[in-house]
Structure 1
């Protein structure tokens, strides 16, 4: 049923799942671990990757597959794998092509959990990671690459520094050294930015955020753009026989979908970080309103940012679509439909000012989450990024006075009134 000429709004509603006559109109929840077959040869073909189908829900499930297919269609990729969390999505995306002795170059302005994963946990596995400033020149980034570099990594919009990735610069480095460019598009979603159209090869998501949109479920996803040549001599696990599948050569057997097929049948199989069918069902419902929600999130965030920048209790405001913002040019270049619902700002006063402000809020809530339909705030330096040193906080773009706001889809005037009264009550 999928039509490649459909617009995103239609794919959000109609994509991913096409019922046959008499079947459920809505993507059903297939809450089953296993699947019945009549012919043992057919099951053997499934295990040998000679036939498509479901045999165990750790590797594939019909409900999860519907969600994965819709994401694939929205991104314009060749396949997707849903995972138990955004962190597991990033981990599997990297481990699918990196092993002991390999090297990664990543933008330093990253979500705290990703920063720790790359700089600490992967290092313990023997994978070396070099973090570079997003403002570094192309030549500086190239100089950080070695003959062991296997990928370039960045976030479309960094959390919480809100740096907008310079796709052209980072993708050109990846192309020159012959490695894939992996981009975390969580804060933008495919509605606001399509990384594959800007030089990315693989897109990762925390579906927990805007894809869900209602703070109900944890999950992640990896989307393969199918636009990288894995036969360039650097990725033997994809271009040479795999002994765990009777010598299957993924590049030969699965062509431009080699990366995502290998990830599913090896890493998802072995690590077991699969998404539950129920969460996939909820994520699919979230995608049905994604196009509407992302427009409202973006509109409300811009209105709140403009209000805050003129408030006497506010020292600074960071939102990419404010005209004096350092990311404004990149935002206008890569984000055609808005800059999402995340903004940050600093409050004048002592270190307790942010705490007082948070306690004074009525509509907005203090939660360790973003991408919810409801407006929320947090102080990252003392919470989400508290494991980082002062030097690492600065490198990640997280000053101590930073307050992060996840602007919801409530009425913008009500959000602004709540922030105004909370700020005015700071003595």
Structure 2
């Protein structure tokens, strides 16, 4: 008689749908809990003096395979890392971190308190006072404000590239002190999808890490590392958690940037490639492909303290269990609603790259034209551009038309936020882009009649009826 098969805790090689349910989970040795518990503890006991030393020097705090040649002295499984203090890491958050890293195809993830914290920590690990970052122009309004206000106060400058296909514009923007290129997979509110492969080629040419916000795309629709990205950030508040009940963010290290080559080319990344103190090797020497994530966790997140609550970490890894199912419904409803809106006389335009009429539709078909199959590789649904569920619709009548539409909605929630099970509507010109100069909003396409829709999981028929009633009010004022 043979013993029972041992449970699986290494999910490499399993399909996307399996990994979104299981990756990162670990066995509960006390009570056999099937769902990883919420670890509500600020600190953690050390077994003895040497255990404390090993946790602080990192020898058992990180996965053994990420520092080859060093064995894990405690024999922990990948998800049973030794905690020090919940500001640096928490067992509930580790489940979410490992799950997201698996889904994105990265090596290590770092969970933080919000999407803005994720962007800030990701870039602070790369740039310091006197440095410079280049971003594509069409990004979330709050991110542009972050770059132009807080980063500016810290002495980090930004330039924006409007035409990512223009080599001359990149040439003008990138400087000797540039430390990263930043972009989004699907910018909101206008769904103007980004050509990641093109931007990755530019980043590689200049020895710069490419940082990509994949909040709207999610790894269920696109995985930026497969297109040449090096670092991915998320507002986990949105689609990853999915239910509007928690705030969080995450940074995923692709483990695919050549930091030594960048140094040789004159791009300095001291937190990663240089020793922090005498007698201690650099993060790159100690942690190899996970060096960037380790530097971000230890030298930025630990120092500044944007810690993710264990409760919200729990809600995050629970939310990811249904990610692909929810995104399938989000996208299907969005395609139907966008196509319907395009035919309505009260609508001037619909900014949804999934529509055949959209100027970026061919790019959308190339990068979003397939769905992850059970092997985790693209497969199925070819010919459909699955560009998420956040897009813009411009109604007639300018501000008056926008006000009439918003006030006429009953199912759509009037609120900020995206990626919820609930459908939401927002007027960008008077909210997320309310402080922008008129010439910037005009160039970004943020017009008086533009509304941002985030399509939820309600009945598409009900959402269309809701929009039809609101458009009737638009007709009355326009």
Give the paired residue count.
426
Decide whether the 8 Å contact of 1:16 with 1:66 is kept in 2.
Answer: yes
1:157 has 2:166 as partner: no
- Structure 2 match to 1:104: 133
Decide whether the 8 Å contact of 2:428 with 2:434 is kept in 1.
Answer: yes
> For 1:274 and 1:350, how far apart are their aligned partners in 2?
42
Q: Could you say if the C-alpha distance between residues 383 and 316 of structure 1 is closer, same or farther in structure 2, counting changes exceeding 3 Å?
A: same
- Structure 1 match to 2:27: 19
> For 1:134 and 1:380, how far apart are their aligned partners in 2?
22
What do you get for the CA RMSD once the two structures are aligned?
A: 1.4
> For 1:419 and 1:130, how far apart are their aligned partners in 2?
38
> For 1:66 and 1:246, how far apart are their aligned partners in 2?
33
> For 2:445 and 2:276, how far apart are their aligned partners in 1?
42
Aligned pair partner of 1:68 in 77, 87, 97:
97
> For 2:406 and 2:149, how far apart are their aligned partners in 1?
32
| Comparing 327-336 and 222-231, the one that deviates more | 327-336
Report the TM-score when normalising by structure 1. 0.97
Q: Once the 2 structures are TM-superposed, how far is the Cα of residue 95 of structure 1 from its aligned partner?
A: 0.5
SS of 1:169's equivalent?
helix
> For 1:287 and 1:355, how far apart are their aligned partners in 2?
35
- Structure 2 match to 1:83: 112
1:361-380 counterparts in 2 under 5 A? 361-380=409-428
SS of 2:394's equivalent?
strand
Q: Could you say if the C-alpha distance between residues 108 and 350 of structure 1 is closer, same or farther in structure 2, counting changes exceeding 3 Å?
A: closer
Q: Deviations over 1:217-236 (max 9, x none)?
A: 11100000000111131223
Aligned pair partner of 2:404 in 356, 362, 365:
356
Please list every run of 5 or more consecutive structure 1 residues that lacks an aligned counterpart in the other structure. none
1:405 has 2:456 as partner: no
> For 1:255 and 1:296, how far apart are their aligned partners in 2?
39
1:252 has 2:261 as partner: no
> For 1:147 and 1:266, how far apart are their aligned partners in 2?
24
> For 1:24 and 1:138, how far apart are their aligned partners in 2?
55
Q: Once the 2 structures are TM-superposed, how far is the Cα of residue 4 of structure 1 from its aligned partner?
A: 2.1
1:133 has 2:162 as partner: yes
- Structure 1 match to 2:257: 228
Decide whether the 8 Å contact of 2:11 with 2:22 is kept in 1.
Answer: no
> For 1:142 and 1:299, how far apart are their aligned partners in 2?
40
1:279 has 2:312 as partner: yes
> For 2:398 and 2:135, how far apart are their aligned partners in 1?
34
SS of 2:404's equivalent?
helix
SS of 1:77's equivalent?
coil
SS of 2:182's equivalent?
strand
> For 2:20 and 2:167, how far apart are their aligned partners in 1?
36
- Structure 1 match to 2:53: 44
Decide whether the 8 Å contact of 1:142 with 1:173 is kept in 2.
Answer: no
Q: Once the 2 structures are TM-superposed, how far is the Cα of residue 128 of structure 1 from its aligned partner?
A: 1.6
- Structure 2 match to 1:7: 15
SS of 1:231's equivalent?
helix
Q: Once the 2 structures are TM-superposed, how far is the Cα of residue 20 of structure 1 from its aligned partner?
A: 5.1
> For 2:118 and 2:111, how far apart are their aligned partners in 1?
8
- Structure 2 match to 1:310: 343
Q: Once the 2 structures are TM-superposed, how far is the Cα of residue 135 of structure 1 from its aligned partner?
A: 4.4
Q: Could you say if the C-alpha distance between residues 350 and 164 of structure 1 is closer, same or farther in structure 2, counting changes exceeding 3 Å?
A: closer
Q: Could you say if the C-alpha distance between residues 350 and 62 of structure 1 is closer, same or farther in structure 2, counting changes exceeding 3 Å?
A: closer
1:417 has 2:462 as partner: no
> For 2:471 and 2:164, how far apart are their aligned partners in 1?
33
SS of 1:218's equivalent?
coil
Report the TM-score when normalising by structure 2. 0.87
Please list every run of 5 or more consecutive structure 2 residues that lacks an aligned counterpart in the other structure. 1-8, 62-81, 372-385
> For 2:50 and 2:12, how far apart are their aligned partners in 1?
35
1:30 has 2:48 as partner: no
1:290 has 2:323 as partner: yes
